[in-house]
């Protein structure tokens, strides 16, 4: 026994008085023959690195027929055969002698009792250790060494690596993962012992047992399968489909069939040959544009498809591979029926609608495990409403009243206001980002870009500002048409950009919005993705509107403070006094009138401060116009319209 385990072994055996007679290395015993305690045969002593000092004696029984480590270490010795005395039903065979017919639990107890009876049992001890179990029924698994069919991967490994390098892997780490698996693989076991599946097309000589497979036998079996299906393998005798001209080398012309089935990964691995090139799908072509599956398929479908294709075609069966994680609950736990933490998709669609389910998928970084729970769905529902409400606002200002016709009422790019051009510049940026996200299969990037555009750029800025124009300008004025033109182009683009994610909502938007003569009005999905505006935005334009945007953010803070202090109610009750630094004074002074519209206040005054720029809020000058709610000194000066400002007085005139 191992020197380090002497004390624990003796304690387990109940031996208190003992001496150590000699210490030597395990290698000194290698090759020594011992007498088997139960059967009349010798048992050699071997050495192996798989034995540990965690428990036992440091000397273990090694059975190459029942474990991978045992099998591997015994391959180092030519005189050790493989004995498997457990059949496919888990019962002892005749090789087990008096234990024949017992299942493993019965045999364990009977063998222990026999060893004790013979005086060969020093001591027994129960230990708890990890052991392989079936992932479906959780029962312990018995490993058995059996004859199998193998494909050698070594012969075409270099070609497989080259094929891997020609594929776009999403995410990129997938390439290194599958490369490592292929490099470490020498053989592929393609046989399985199942009662269902596609049989391995091999016959055996009835006399000598030699496996026979050649062009003639394979064609005969293929013809049989093509005519009657693979079930015919089980219902027909070999003599019914193997030509009489086929003979074994020993001269025998009678054969038995192989009853092992083909590894199901081989079945799915060659599916590209029938799907991409078969007659059933004439619109498809080989190789596939994309293979999509879970991250576990690097050792499964992705690899089996690759290996079969490299041998058969000399290249990969796919141009790109995209992998995803698993769906887990809100706490990150795997969903199981037994845990009761699963969510039925129909529950989500019944409560929130199908688009929320689609949105949950698209908003997640699916390369990792994806969490789902009612709070997560509730948050997504809120995000969805913001996109939907943005579309509703635009629809209401395109279809109500006069009804905007984009073919007749759109203004040209040169007549768009700067604010409307800014909105289209933001739309151009959105189109680039969303298309980039889709092309890279980063759907969460596309979704978040659309959501941020609707909330930050549209609702919080652009649409908030243009309400005054939409509600107060003359119905068909150029200023109002400019805003409607920009809104139409924005809504048309957003509907098409969002269609792959929130399909039902995008279709609903498309059916209610006005269209140009070039649109396909039947469905949003029959239209191309939007192109950018084509407007050239100079660096000066971009810089100017970045300055305006930052100014609005700063002004909104002081307006909110003024509201909290009850100095004002609505922002139109205020005027903003900008105390500008010397460096920015000219810029602010030039923008003063434009800033009143942007800040949604009734006036903007600019003063030099010499120091840093600051903002103050004061009561607006003049009286409130009852139509636009702006404060103006003009209110009360028009005898025909004493309650209106100058703009509104003009607007209501016929």
Q: Which residue has the tokens 């509730």?
A: 378
Give the count of domains, the chain: 5
pLDDT at 87 over 80: yes
Q: Give pLDDT, residue 330.
A: 75
Grouping H, G, I as helix, E, B as strand and the rest as coil, residue 397 is helix
- The CATH code of the domain that includes 208 is 3.40.50.620
Average confidence (pLDDT) over 144-161? 91
What is the pLDDT, as a whole number, of residue 401? 46
Q: Are residues 407 and 489 in the same domain?
A: yes
Q: Would you say residue 653 lies in a domain?
A: no
Looking at the fold, whether 391 and 443 belong to one and the same domain comes out as yes
363 shares a domain with 221:
no
Is the pLDDT reported for residue 32 higher than 80?
yes
If asked whether residues 7 and 112 sit together in one domain, one would say: yes
In this structure, the answer to whether residues 160 and 308 fall within a common structural domain is yes
Q: Are residues 400 and 454 in the same domain?
A: yes
| Residue 320 and residue 220 share a domain | yes
Per the CB < 8 A criterion, the answer to whether 197 and 264 are in contact is yes
Domain end residue (candidates: 73, 102, 117): 117
Tell me the average pLDDT of the chain. 90
pLDDT beyond 80 at 343: no
pLDDT at residue 202, as a whole number: 93
Asked if residue 533 lies in contact with residue 424, where contact means CB atoms within 8 angstroms, the answer is yes
Question: What local confidence, expressed as pLDDT, does residue 402 receive?
Answer: 55
Token pair recorded at residue 409:
């009422």
Query: Domain for residue 402, yes or no?
Result: yes
Which of 475, 504, 526 terminates a domain? The answer is: 526
So what's the pLDDT on residue 129?
81
Same domain for 180 and 305? yes
User: 159's torsion region: left (phi>0), alpha (psi -120 to 50) or beta?
Assistant: alpha
Express each pLDDT in 403-438 by its tens digit.
899 999 999 999 999 999 999 999 999 999 999 999
Residue 417, in any domain of the structure: yes
**Which residues are paired to 604 by β-bridges?**
576
Domain span including residue 105: 3-117
Share of the chain above pLDDT 70, in %: 98
Which tens digit of pLDDT belongs to each residue from 7-20? Answer: 999 999 999 999 99
138 is a domain residue: no
CB 423 within 8 A of CB 463: no
- Residues near 189 by Cβ (< 8 Å), separated by ≥ 6? 148, 149, 150, 263
Has residue 349 been placed in a domain? yes
The number of CA neighbours under 13 Å toward the Cβ of 309 is 27
pLDDT tens-digit series, residues 196-250 = 888 999 999 998 989 999 999 999 999 999 999 989 999 999 999 999 899 998 9
Q: What is the mean pLDDT of residues 534-561?
A: 94
For residue 9, the domain's CATH number is: 3.90.740.10
Beta bridge partners of 372: 329
b/e map of 119-135 (b: 16 or more CB within 10 Å)? eeeeeeeeeeeeeeeee
Helix locations, 440-538, DSSP H = 443-452, 463-472, 478-498, 503-512
Six-digit token string for 120: 């060969």
Beta bridge partners of 432: none
* 507 and 554 assigned to the same domain: no
Token digits of residue 405: 């016709």
User: 163 with 69, same domain?
Assistant: no
Given a cut of 90, whether residue 329 has pLDDT beyond it is no
152 SS3 class? strand
**Are residues 394 and 501 located together in one domain of the fold?**
yes
Residue finishing a domain among 99, 117, 135: 117
Q: Per the domain annotation, does 652 fall within a domain?
A: no
Task: Read off the pLDDT of each residue in 32-50 and give the average, rounded to a whole number.
Answer: 90
Residue 400 pLDDT more than 70? no
Rounded to an integer, what distance in angstroms lies between the CA atom of residue 616 and that of residue 65? 86
- Give, for 150, the enclosing helix (H) or strand (E): strand 150-152
CATH code: domain of residue 447? 1.10.730.20
**E strands present in 393-480:** none
pLDDT (tens digit per residue) in 234-243: 999 999 999 9
What are 494-546's pLDDT values in tens digits? 999 999 999 999 999 999 999 999 999 999 999 999 999 999 999 999 999 99
Instruction: Please tell me which residue, 219 or 475, carries the higher pLDDT value.
Output: 219
User: Residues 49-56: what's their mean pLDDT?
Assistant: 85
The confidence score (pLDDT) of residue 326 equals 83
Same domain? 385 vs 487: yes
- 255 pLDDT tier (thresholds 50, 70, 90): very high
- Quick check: is 635 in a domain? no
In a domain, 128, yes or no: no
Instruction: List the single range of 179-183, 369-373, 421-425, 593-597 with lowest mean pLDDT.
Output: 369-373
Q: Is the pLDDT of residue 338 over 70?
A: no
Q: Is it the case that residue 654 has pLDDT exceeding 70?
A: no
Residues 6+ apart with CB under 8 A from 44: 31, 32, 33, 34, 77, 79, 80
Residue 551 has pLDDT above 60, yes or no: yes
Contact predicate 310/156, CB 8 Å: yes
pLDDT band at 332 (very low <50, low <70, confident <90, very high): confident
């Amino acid at each position: 026994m191992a020197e380090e385990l002497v004390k624990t072994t003796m304690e387990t055996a109940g031996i208190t008085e003992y001496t150590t007679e000699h210490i030597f290395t395990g290698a000194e015993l290698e090759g020594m023959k011992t007498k088997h305690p139960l059967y009349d045969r010798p048992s050699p002593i071997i050495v192996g690195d798989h034995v540990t000092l965690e428990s036992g004696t440091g000397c273990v029984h090694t059975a190459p027929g029942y474990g991978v480590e045992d099998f591997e270490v015994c391959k180092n010795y030519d005189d050790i055969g493989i004995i498997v005395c457990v059949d496919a039903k888990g019962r002892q065979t005749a090789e087990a002698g008096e234990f024949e017919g017992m299942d493993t639990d019965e045999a364990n107890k009977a063998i222990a009792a026999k060893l004790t009876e013979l005086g060969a049992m020093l001591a027994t001890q129960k230990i708890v250790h990890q052991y392989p179990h079936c992932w479906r029924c959780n029962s312990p698994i018995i490993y058995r060494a059996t004859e199998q069919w193998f494909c050698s991967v070594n012969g075409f490994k270099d070609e497989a690596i080259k094929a891997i390098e020609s594929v776009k892997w999403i995410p990129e780490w997938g390439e290194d993962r599958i490369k490592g698996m292929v490099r470490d693989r020498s053989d592929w076991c393609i046989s399985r012992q199942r009662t269902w599946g596609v049989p391995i097309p091999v016959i055996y000589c009835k006399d000598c047992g030699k496996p026979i497979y050649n062009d003639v036998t394979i064609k005969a079996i293929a013809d049989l399968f093509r005519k009657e299906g693979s079930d015919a393998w089980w219902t027909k005798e070999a003599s019914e489909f193997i030509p009489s001209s086929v003979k074994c080398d020993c001269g025998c012309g009678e054969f038995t069939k192989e009853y092992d089935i083909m590894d199901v990964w081989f079945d799915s691995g060659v599916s590209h040959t029938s799907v991409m090139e078969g007659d059933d799908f004439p619109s498809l072509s080989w190789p596939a544009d994309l293979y999509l599956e879970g991250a576990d398929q690097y050792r499964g479908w992705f690899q089996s498809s690759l290996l079969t294709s490299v041998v058969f075609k000399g290249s990969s069966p796919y141009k790109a591979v995209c992998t995803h994680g698993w769906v887990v609950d809100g706490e990150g736990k795997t969903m199981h029926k037994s845990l009761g933490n699963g969510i039925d998709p129909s529950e989500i669609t019944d409560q929130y609608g199908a688009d929320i389910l689609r949105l949950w998928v698209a908003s997640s970084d699916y390369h990792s495990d994806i969490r789902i729970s009612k709070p997560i769905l509730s948050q997504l529902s809120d995000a969805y409403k913001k996109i939907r409400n943005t579309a509703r606002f635009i629809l209401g200002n395109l279809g109500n009243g006069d009804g905007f016709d984009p073919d007749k009422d759109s203004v040209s790019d040169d007549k768009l206001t700067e604010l409307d051009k800014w909105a289209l510049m933001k739309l151009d940026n959105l189109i680039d980002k969303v298309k980039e996200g889709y092309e890279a299969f980063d759907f969460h990037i596309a979704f978040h870009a659309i959501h941020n555009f609707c909330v930050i750029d549209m609702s919080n800025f652009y649409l908030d500002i243009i309400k005054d124009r939409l509600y107060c300008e003359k119905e068909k004025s150029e200023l109002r048409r400019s805003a409607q033109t920009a809104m139409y182009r924005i809504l048309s683009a957003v509907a098409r950009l969002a269609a792959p994610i929130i399909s039902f909502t995008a279709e609903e938007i498309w059916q209610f919005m006005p269209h140009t003569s070039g649109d396909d009005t039947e469905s949003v999905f029959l239209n191309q993705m939007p192109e950018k505006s084509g407007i050239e935005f100079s660096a000066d334009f971009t810089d100017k509107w970045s300055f305006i945007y930052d100014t609005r953010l700063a002004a909104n803070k002081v307006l909110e403070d003024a509201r909290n202090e009850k100095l004002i109610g609505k922002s139109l009750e205020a005027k903003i006094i900008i105390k500008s630094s010397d460096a920015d004074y000219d810029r602010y002074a030039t923008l003063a009138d434009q800033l009143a519209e942007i800040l949604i206040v009734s006036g903007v005054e600019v003063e030099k401060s010499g120091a840093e720029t600051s903002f103050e809020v004061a009561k607006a000058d003049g009286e409130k116009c009852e139509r636009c709610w702006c404060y103006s000194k003009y209110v009360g000066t028009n005898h025909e319209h004493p309650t209106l400002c100058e703009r509104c007085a003009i607007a209501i005139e016929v």
